[in-house]
Amino acid sequence: MNLTVSHLDKLRLPLLHKLYKANYPSGKPKGKEDIIALENNKIIIGAVRIKTYEDCHFLTGMMIIEEMRGKQLGNYLINETKKLLSLNHCYCLCDPQLTAFYLKNNFTLAKESIPHVITSKYERYTHGGKKLDILVYKKHNN
C-alpha cells in the first residue's frame, strides 16, 4: 500500500460526500471543517473531520471505507492525524463500543475541565438517550 494522510482539498469534497454516504451515512462532511484524508495510491479510503475551537479540537466522523476495514487503517489514520493538530487537546464523542479503539490510540476518558463547547455537544447528542463517551487526546510537547 502507498498510504498518505493530508488535508483534503475542498474541490474533492463532493467525492468525499459519496464515500461517506456509502460507508458512514450519518457522517456529513462540511466545507467549514478541517478534513484529513487517508489515501492509498491517491484514492481516498478514509477520512476524519476536525472542528477547531478556541482552545481545543473536536474530532468527528472518522470513516474507513468498508472494503478496507480490519487492516489497522483506523489506527494509522488517527495517529497521523494527531501529528497535524495545532492545539494541545482534541476531544471526541464515541459510542462506548469504540472507546477501546480510542484508548488504544492514546486518548483517555475525559473527566474534568471539559470545554463548554464539548459538553454542550455531548448533552445535545445524548438528550434522546444515546450513550456516548467523551474522550480526550492531550498532545505532549517534547
Instruction: Provide the pLDDT confidence category of residue 128 given band limits of 50, 70 and 90.
Output: confident
C-beta neighbour count of 90 within 10 angstroms: 22
* pLDDT score, position 140: 76
Q: How much is the mean pLDDT over the chain?
A: 93
In CATH, 3-138 is 3.40.630.30: yes
Please write the tens of the pLDDT for every residue from 44-80.
Answer: 999 999 999 989 999 999 999 999 999 999 999 999 9
Q: How far apart are CA 85 and CA 118, in angstroms?
A: 17
Instruction: Say if pTM beats, i.e. exceeds, 0.95.
Output: no
Inform me whether the pLDDT recorded for 142 exceeds 60: no
> What confidence tens digit (pLDDT) does each residue in 76-92 have?
999 999 999 999 999 99
